[in-house]
């Protein structure tokens, strides 16, 4: 929809680009569809995605996936540490060291959060 240039106040009240919402809904559905397929388990998908993200050096996305994997129970602390060992040999020592830091920091944060919830007197 084109807004007449002689009414700038109308431009301020019009909703933000509706196509963004449409794109977001489409992307969300596509991700949902991909993650709900049954040939690979969620754990297998999570491992594949972690390998891809670490290999590409996408640290922020790796943080998100590590957090989701641990908190959802898709991967345990032991399994995350094993992922570090495995990927270090294939993604390189620098990325492996960064991944190790991410995993250890995450484990510490999750343990601390659990201990805070367990001790409400805190």
* Helical residues (DSSP H) of 1-122, grouped into ranges: 8-13, 18-36, 42-56, 59-72, 77-91, 93-118
Q: What percent of the chain has pLDDT over 70?
A: 80
**pLDDT confidence tier of residue 69, bands split at 50, 70 and 90:** very high
Entry pTM? 0.74
Q: Domain limits of the chain?
A: 8-118
pLDDT digits (tens, 9 = 90+) for 70-80: 999 999 999 99
Contact 70, 107 (CB under 8 A): yes
CB 87 within 8 A of CB 96: yes
Does the structure show a pLDDT above 80 at 23?
no
| Superfamily name and number for 8-118 | AhpD-like (1.20.1290.10)
- The string of DSSP letters for 8-19 reads HHHHHHSPS-HH
């Amino acid at each position: 929809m084109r807004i007449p240039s002689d009414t700038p106040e109308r431009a301020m009240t019009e909703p933000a680009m509706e196509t963004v919402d449409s794109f977001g809904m489409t992307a969300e559905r596509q991700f949902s569809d991909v993650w709900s397929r049954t040939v690979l388990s969620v754990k297998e998908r999570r491992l594949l995605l972690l390998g891809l993200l670490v290999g590409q050096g996408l640290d922020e996305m790796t943080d998100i996936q590590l957090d989701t994997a641990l908190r959802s129970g898709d991967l345990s602390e032991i399994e995350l540490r094993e992922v570090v060992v495995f990927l270090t040999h294939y993604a390189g020592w620098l990325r492996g060291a960064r991944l190790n830091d991410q995993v250890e920091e995450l484990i510490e944060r999750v343990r601390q959060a659990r201990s805070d919830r367990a001790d409400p007197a805190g």
